[in-house]
Structure 1
Amino acid sequence: MRLGISTACFYPQPVEEILPILAGLGVHAVEVFFNTESEFSPRFYEQLGAQARQLGLDIVSVHPYTSLMEGLLLFSDYQRRTEDGLMQYQRYLECAAALGARFFTFHGERDMGHADDPARWARKCEVYRRLCGLAASCGVTLAQENVAWCRSRDPAFLSALYRDVPALRYTLDIKQAHRAGRHPREFIDAVGERLVNIHINDFSAEQSCLLPGAGTMDYADFFSRLRAAGYSGHALIEVYRSNFTGPDDLARAVSVLSRFLTV
């Protein structure tokens, strides 16, 4: 397993200013969190890709700012919006491919507290299959993330989704599992070998998101479970800017996790 960091840690600092900071921390794997539409234009991301290569950074995954709206864009009953949303995400996936990213992080629908009838479930799975197909045509893998305010908060939902959409893969986020009142192992058990990416953080009884090493997370047990499940991918530190004062704090988190991972 290999350690990295998400540019989301430094939001709202512009993403092109963040890459040199991450390179200075000694990590090589990064996730790029795009924060606005213009950043998905070739003029911007081609320069970003050149910058990453010059810094020796490997862009593992891309995360779109539209993750807040994916239910509305792609899974509503308004078919024209779904078609437009698929075209929009085609551009995003082309951007990910141009940056050399293997994975595209996806949130999906907001949890509105209701189950799907068979017809709606079939429509939803068809959209997921089309997204997975678009991703595959770009050489990228769609990776559904567990998110506390989304349907993906429930391991049973993910199990059903993966049963019916075989190409779909999974990003595990520790803080989001904690916020949903779930243990990360429940998601590891639900998705098994489909796990391809991890957002790693820490938590305590008082705070749901902390830098690794600042909370109560049992990393020895966590990484032992991952290895038992056959996971050998990346663990990308993803916290909020309010969780640390400066790069030195992130450097200490890298040191904490380096006992379990390769930097």
Structure 2
Amino acid sequence: MRLLAREGFRVMEVFANSFFEFTKDYGETLREIADEENVRINSIHTVSSAFEPYLFDAYERRRDDFFRIYQDFLDFGQRVGAKVYTFHGLIKKPHPKMTFDDVVYVYEKMVYEAGLRGISLAQENVSWCLSGNLEYLKRLKERVKGPLKFTLDVKQAVKAGRSPYEYLEIYGEDLANLHLNDHDENSPCLLPGDGHFDFRSLRNKVEELGYKGPGIIEVYRENYTSIKDLSKSKADLERILSESLK
């Protein structure tokens, strides 16, 4: 975080890659660093396959166990000052004993619990999860109260063989977070500026929806070799977006 801050990054998303990384002590350390470096942690994200699918487990006691982990992660988010939790959700169809009504009930519990801490639960479109499916997202938006918010991830739309704009049509004014990345014919994920994605059109669309949140550069570790690569991408993206104003 310090290295990124010193390259001019001021708004960040924290990805907790282990349970240790969302403990109370670790969260307080991150918050101290963020305050020292004048950084705002807007959103949190985690290694979802470790616990998120179990929130929808057919076995109630196990479901309750993982809901407590979810609460711990929300506490971590509140500790670092985050306003959005980027959520992957189910990686496959629910257990046969879990109906869609049951899934909606769990989401509503999650939305409520997050709201108690000033955090929005933002379902992300993820190609290898049910949330890559447009119809599933439509059903969630129609049924879940709270309200449920959404994160758009450009690369995940590409991986699902869909246009990011198809997801935005569903999200509408409930878009709460934006993951920016680029792509070309050979790779579904590149640093912004290294591919051919039209960021100007995306900016125009999210502005039409009233989105006023940040755009988070979210790529994989293999997409860059140094912090300087991220800094260059930030500069490229700012230049591209500023051109849309001319």
Per the TM superposition, whether the score is higher than 0.5 is: yes
Instruction: Please say if residues 57 and 98 of structure 2, whose CA atoms lie closer than 8 Å, have aligned partners that are also in contact.
Output: no
Q: What is the aligned-residue RMSD (CA, Å)? A: 1.7
Q: Using the alignment, how far apart are the partners of 2:98 and 2:60 within structure 1?
A: 14
1:106, 1:143 within 8 Å by CA — same for their partners in 2?
yes
Gaps of 5+ in 1: 1-18
Answer whether contact 2:58 2:97 (CA < 8 A) is retained. no
Number of residue pairs aligned between Structure 1 and Structure 2: 240
> Residue 108 of structure 2 is aligned with which of 104, 129, 141?
129
What residue number does 1:254 align with? 234
User: After superposition, what is the alpha-carbon deviation per residue over 1:106-149, rounded to whole angstroms, capped at 9, x for unaligned?
Assistant: 1000135x8x9896000000000000111011111111111000
* Letter of the 2:155 counterpart: K
Instruction: Give the equivalent residue in structure 2 for 1:106.
Output: 87
Amino acid at match of 1:136: G
Question: Given the two structures, how large is their TM-score scaled by the length of structure 1?
Answer: 0.87
TM-score normalized by structure 2?
A: 0.93
Q: Which moved more, 1:206-215 or 1:245-254?
A: 245-254
Tell me how far apart the structure 1 counterparts of residues 28 and 81 of structure 2 sit (CA, whole Å): 11
Q: Distance in 2 between matches of 1:227 and 1:140?
A: 22
Measure the CA separation in 2 of the matches of 1:105 and 1:145. Answer: 6
Residue 198 of structure 1 pairs with residue 178 of structure 2: yes
Structure 2: unaligned runs, 5 residues or longer? none
Q: Could you list the runs of 4 or more consecutive aligned residues of structure 1 that deviate by over 3 angstroms after TM superposition? A: 69-72, 116-119
- For 2:81, what is the secondary structure of its paired residue? coil
User: CA 1:46 to 1:71, structure 2 compared with 1: closer, same or farther past 3 Å?
Assistant: closer
* Counterpart residue number, 2:158: 178
Q: 1:134-153 residue pairs with structure 2 within 5 A? A: 134-153=113-132
Aligned with 1:108: secondary structure? coil
2 CA distance for matches of 1:247 and 1:27? 11
Q: Could you say which residue in structure 1 is the equivalent of 2:140?
A: 161
C-alpha distance in 2, partners of 1:205/1:235? 23
Secondary structure, in 3 states, of the residue corresponding to 2:91?
A: coil
**Matched residue SS, 1:172:** strand
Shift of 1:69: 3.9
SS in structure 2 of the partner of residue 190 of structure 1:
helix
For the pair 1:38 / 2:17, whether they are aligned, the reply is no
Equivalent residue number for residue 33 of structure 2:
51
- 2:89 is paired with a residue whose SS is coil
The CA distance in 1 between the partners of 2:22 and 2:221, in whole Å, is: 23
Seq. identity, % = 36
Give distance in 1, aligned partners of 2:64 and 2:46.
18
Q: Distance in 2 between matches of 1:92 and 1:247?
A: 27
